[in-house]
Amino acid sequence: MKHLPKEQRGAEALRLTIKTLLAASYSWRGYEAQRQWLEKLLQRDATAGFTPAERDGVARIAYMRTPFEGWAGYRVQELIKGALPYASDFDYDEELFLKEVDTESPTALVRDQMRMLVGLCRAAGMDLPRFDARYEAYDDEAA
């Protein structure tokens, strides 16, 4: 069995992470630029490594693209149905988001989409805990 250098193994693992992210069926709404960047990273020579900043960028995208099937005991569809009657009370972007996810009928939403949906549900009067979408690696900087 051929042993790869540590850097090359790390690069291959990151390439696999990127391929997995791009293959996920979850909506890329709001992530078009990140998707293009990930695709560009994959177009590089397979022997090329990645910088620490690129590795961190991929980790942040992977974190934010974590799917959630629900929140506080409610499935995504139940949350959508809870906020939908109040769609006209929200601002245009929030109303548009809510109507788009209702049309898509997703079974899961990525982290920032779930944060937005939970916020809309809370504004609609549902008793839900807040959804914190911050990336933990940056909590120290935010404090």
Sign of CA dihedral 143, 70, 77, 111: positive
Q: Angle between the 92-104 and 76-83 helix axes, to the nearest 10 degrees?
A: 140
- Report the alpha-carbon distance of residue 77 to residue 107 in Å, rounded: 7
In DSSP terms, 109 is beta-bridged to 68
Average pLDDT over residues 77-87: 96
Distance CA 45, CA 62 (A): 22
Give me the count of residues in the chain: 143
Number of H helices, E strands in the chain: 7, 4
CA distance 139 to 57: 16
What element of type H or E holds 67?
strand 67-68
Share of the chain above pLDDT 90, in %: 67
Q: How sure is the predictor about 140, in pLDDT bands with cuts at 50, 70 and 90?
A: very low
Pull the structure tokens for residue 122.
């809370």
The pTM of the full predicted model, rounded to 2 decimals, is 0.78
Residues 101, 119: Cα–Cα separation, whole Å: 14
Q: What is the pLDDT of residues 91-101, one digit of tens each?
A: 999 999 999 99
What was the pLDDT predicted at 2? Answer: 55
